[in-house]
Amino acid sequence: MAITYLKSADARPATENKDIRDIVAIMLANIAREGEAAARDYARKLDGWTGEIVLSEEARRAACARVPEDLKADIRFAQANIQRFAEAQKATMGECEVEVMPGLIAGQKQIPVSSAGCYVPGGRYSHIASALMTITTAKVAGVPHITAVSPTRAEIGIPDAIVFAMDLCGADLILNLGGVQGIAAMARGLFGGRPADILVGPGNSYVAEAKRMLFGEIGIDMFAGPTDSLVVADHTASAETVAWDLISQAEHGADSPVWLVTTDRALAEDVMARVPSVIDSLPAPNAGAARTAWAERAEVILCDTREEAARVADRYAPEHLQVQAEGLEWWLGRLTAYGSLFLGDGTTVAFGDKTSGPNHVLPTSGAARYTGGLSVHKFTKTVTWQRCNAAASHELALRTARISRVEGMEGHARAAELRLRPRPA
């Protein structure tokens, strides 16, 4: 068996950018030192925003009122699906209690974090769906306080549809802030917020770097890179559908890789022939991003068998993985490394990005090998507890003391042996 690259990537995304690291480090240090004044100054310099940072209740209501009713219905539809899926996830998170040995009871509890910061991108595209995905999931997890931020547009602030989505999902505080200053404001609890226990949501390279630098002090959902997508297809797939599914994801940005893995050469050649016209049919800014992504990041890989195709897909560990091939149950059971899986040509990554329910905040750059996407689990701490009676305490003390002395940890041994003393009646 062999694999053949009918199209190879011309370049790979840079894994490091010292300039971005340096800029973000300076910004975070300034905001840590100067607080709200520095955040306001960055908002003015970088986004041209001089209005209020905290979105008032009056402004929130006004923004929601300006959203057309048909768009509100679409947003409510998507939010309901996301909420239902998150609630189903939460139902799988059980607490337990077990008698590990006679007299020793141990268990686990599920405790939501106290506060979350949700970042909603708003640069070239207004990511309504990111507000739905992050805030709804935190709310279902039971997070008591949620702050949401998004980049402003000059003289407008956060677009009305994003405000409506934030409000619908239950954001407690909305800040007219984007970029590093938005991340820092949530981390520090500026402008009346609570310091975030976890920061979630996609963003540009500056936002991603700010989250990376704050990780440890604060939890984050994941280290995010450019979005990526892989389609596995066989002779049953439609070349037109495959081409659109690839280019719709390349539309995210010039650095967004898309990959086609197929067992059918004719399909691969048909897809590659169709891609230029698909790109040309997009609006100019979208077409420009997709054209560069296809030219520099895309790959088309021909495999001899479906098992070989599955191995290639697992090696790439894509953020999004679509299967347009026979035997969908086989693929579901076989594939092991992906952020989210889309089975059959009746679904598409676009559904997952916007409305279908499973979260679209997913691992990128191969991270799907070891982690999944955003879920109620990310907002929840699984903690353990234990208690024991006198008999169990005696047994544990003897064995703990002996193991501790072999390890050279005399303090541990003596702490254990204190439990051998008779307890007051």
The answer to whether 319 is a known catalytic residue is yes
At 89, the pLDDT band (50, 70, 90 cuts) reads very high
pLDDT band at 1 (very low <50, low <70, confident <90, very high): low
As to burial, measured by CB atoms within 10 angstroms (0-12 exposed, 13-18 middle, 19+ buried), residue 169 is: buried
- pLDDT value, residue 350: 96
The verdict on residue 256 lying in a domain is yes
pLDDT at 12: 55
Q: Is residue 425 domain-resident? A: no
Count the domains in the chain: 3
State the catalytic residue, choosing from 127, 145, 252, 320.
320
Task: Tell whether 2 is covered by a domain.
Answer: no
pLDDT of residue 424: 74
**Helix (H) or strand (E) run with residue 412 in it:** helix 410-417
For 375, the token pair is: 């879920």
Q: Give the DSSP H/E element, type plus range, for residue 26.
A: helix 18-34
Query: DSSP assignment of 270-324, as one string?
Result: HHHHHHHHHHHTS-HHHHHHHHHHHHHT-EEEEESSHHHHHHHHHHH--SEEEEE
Closest residue by Cα to residue 20 from 202, 149, 188, 207: 207
77 and 116 fall within a common domain? yes
Q: What is the pLDDT of residues 242-300, one digit of tens each?
A: 999 999 999 999 999 999 999 999 999 999 999 999 999 999 999 999 999 999 999 99
Residues 126 and 262 occupy one common structural domain:
no
For 221, phi then psi, to 5°, come to -70, -45
Q: Are 116 and 351 in contact (CB under 8 A)?
A: no
Instruction: Characterize 357-394 residue by residue with b for buried, 16 or more Cβ atoms within 10 angstroms of its Cβ, and e for exposed.
Output: bbbbbbbbbebbeeebbbbbbbbbeeeeeeebeeebbe
Please indicate, yes or no, whether residues 367 and 394 belong to a single structural domain of this protein. Answer: no
Q: Is the pLDDT of residue 215 over 60?
A: yes
Same domain for 291 and 160: no
Considering the domain architecture, whether residues 207 and 319 belong to the same structural domain is answered as no
Residue 395 among the catalytic residues? no
Q: Mind listing the pLDDT tens digit for each residue in 5-44?
A: 999 998 555 545 789 999 999 999 999 999 999 999 999 9
pLDDT exceeding 90 applies to what percent of the chain?
A: 93
User: What residue numbers bound the domain in which 330 lies?
Assistant: 226-372
Q: What is the pTM of this model?
A: 0.93
Residue of 57, 319, 394, 395 with catalytic role: 319
Task: Let me know if residue 61 belongs to a domain.
Answer: yes
Instruction: Indicate which CATH number applies to the domain containing 34.
Output: 3.40.50.1980
Report yes or no on 32 lying in a domain. Answer: yes
Q: Which of 59, 41, 43, 180 is nearest to 117 (CA)?
A: 180
Average the pLDDT over 392-401 and give the result: 97
